C-alpha cells in the first residue's frame, strides 16, 4: 500500500488531477472510505459530500411522516454538484452549500472549498446522476448487505440526528430500501471498482490506491 500511495503522490506532484466518486447504499461505508482517502492524501485531497446538495425541503418536511423522500434523486441539486465538480477539476475554488439536517433548510452561508489534486466525492446517488458520474476518473461502489446497512443507519440516525427507532424503521422500508433498489444498486454497473463495506478498511484502501497509482 505504501508503494501505491507514493506513486499516487508522485502523480499529484506532477500535476495530475483526479476526481474519485465513492458511491454505495446508506450505511455501506462510503464516508469511512472517503475520509480515509482524504486522510491519506492530506493537503492533496478535498472532500465533497452529496448531502450538502439537498434542495431546501423545509416547507414540506413533517418529521417521520414521510412527505419528503430524501432518497430520491429529485431531492438533490445535481446540476449544482456537477458545476462545482467541473470547477474543482479546473483548479478553481467553490462555495459549497450548507444543508441543515435539523431544519431541512439550505443555509444562506456557504463553505469555501479550495481545489486539490484529488477530489473525493461521497454520495449514494452520484453514479445514478449521469452528468455527475461522467466526471469521475475513478468510480468506486461500496457493496454491503441490506441488514448491515439498516443496523448501521439506525444507530447513526438515533444517536446523531435525533430520530426515533420506529421512525427510522418506517423510513427505511418506505423510502431508503425502495430507492436503494431502484436507483443506488443499479448504479453499481457504472463503477470501475467495487469494494466491500465490511472488510477492513485497509483492504479497500489498498484496492483503490492500486488503481489510482497506475501510470
- Closest approach, Cβ 181 to ligand ATP, in A, equals 15
* Residue number with CB closer to Mg ion (28 or 84): 28
Residue 187 interacting with ligand ATP (CB under 6 A): no
Return the residue nearest ligand ATP (CB atom): 29
Return the residue nearest Mg ion (CB atom): 31
Three-class SS state of 121: strand
CA torsion sign for 77, 175, 129, 113 is positive
Residue 177 interacting with ligand ATP (CB under 6 A): no
At residue 98, φ and ψ (nearest 5 deg) are: -115, 125
DSSP string, 156-202: HHHHHH---HHHHHHHIIIIIHHHIIIIIGGGGGG-SEEEESSS-HH
Instruction: Work out what residue 152 binds among ligand ATP, Mg ion, none; the CB cut-off runs from 5 to 8 Å by kind.
Output: ligand ATP
Residue 97 interacting with ligand ATP (CB under 6 A): no
Residue 133 interacting with ligand ATP (CB under 6 A): no
With cell 431531492, the residue in question is 75
Instruction: Work out what residue 24 binds among Mg ion, ligand ATP, none; the CB cut-off runs from 5 to 8 Å by kind.
Output: ligand ATP
Residue 75 interacting with ligand ATP (CB under 6 A): no
* Residue number with CB closer to Mg ion (31 or 52): 31
Binding mask 9-48 for ligand ATP (x = CB under 6 A): ---------------x-xxxxxxx----------------
Three-class SS state of 112: strand
**172-204 burial code (b ≥16 CB/10 A, e <16):** beebbbebbeebbbebbebbebebebeeeeeeb
Residue 201 interacting with ligand ATP (CB under 6 A): yes
* Residue number with CB closer to ligand ATP (115 or 154): 154
Rounded to a whole number of angstroms, the CA Rg of the chain reads: 17
With cell 439506525, the residue in question is 154
Number of residues that bind ligand ATP (CB under 6 A): 15
Query: By the criterion CB under 5 A, which residues form the site for Mg ion?
Result: 31
Chain-centroid distance, C-alpha 124: 6
Binding stretches for ligand ATP (CB under 6 A): 24, 26-32, 124, 152-153, 197-199, 201
Amino acid at each position: 500500500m505504501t508503494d501505491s500511495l507514493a506513486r499516487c503522490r508522485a502523480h499529484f506532484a506532477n500535476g495530475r488531477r483526479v476526481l474519485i466518486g465513492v458511491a454505495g447504499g446508506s450505511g455501506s461505508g462510503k464516508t469511512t472510505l472517503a475520509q480515509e482517502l482524504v486522510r491519506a492524501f492530506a493537503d492533496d485531497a478535498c472532500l465533497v459530500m452529496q448531502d450538502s446538495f439537498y434542495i431546501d425541503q423545509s416547507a414540506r418536511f413533517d418529521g417521520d411522516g414521510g412527505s419528503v423522500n430524501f432518497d430520491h434523486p429529485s431531492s438533490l441539486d445535481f446540476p449544482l454538484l456537477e458545476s462545482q465538480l467541473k470547477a474543482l477539476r479546473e483548479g478553481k475554488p467553490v462555495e459549497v452549500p450548507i444543508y441543515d439536517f435539523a431544519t431541512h433548510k439550505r443555509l444562506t452561508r456557504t463553505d469555501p472549498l479550495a481545489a486539490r489534486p484529488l477530489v473525493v466525492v461521497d454520495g449514494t446517488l452520484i453514479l445514478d446522476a449521469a452528468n455527475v458520474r461522467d466526471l469521475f476518473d475513478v468510480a468506486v461502489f461500496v457493496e454491503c448487505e441490506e441488514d448491515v446497512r439498516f443496523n448501521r443507519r439506525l444507530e447513526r440516525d438515533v444517536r446523531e440526528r435525533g430520530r426515533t427507532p420506529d421512525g427510522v424503521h418506517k423510513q427505511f422500508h418506505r423510502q431508503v430500501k425502495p430507492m436503494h433498489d431502484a436507483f443506488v444498486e443499479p448504479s453499481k454497473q457504472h463503477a470501475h471498482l467495487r469494494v466491500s463495506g465490511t472488510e477492513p478498511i485497509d483492504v479497500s484502501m489498498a484496492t483503490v490506491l492500486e488503481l489510482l497509482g497506475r501510470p
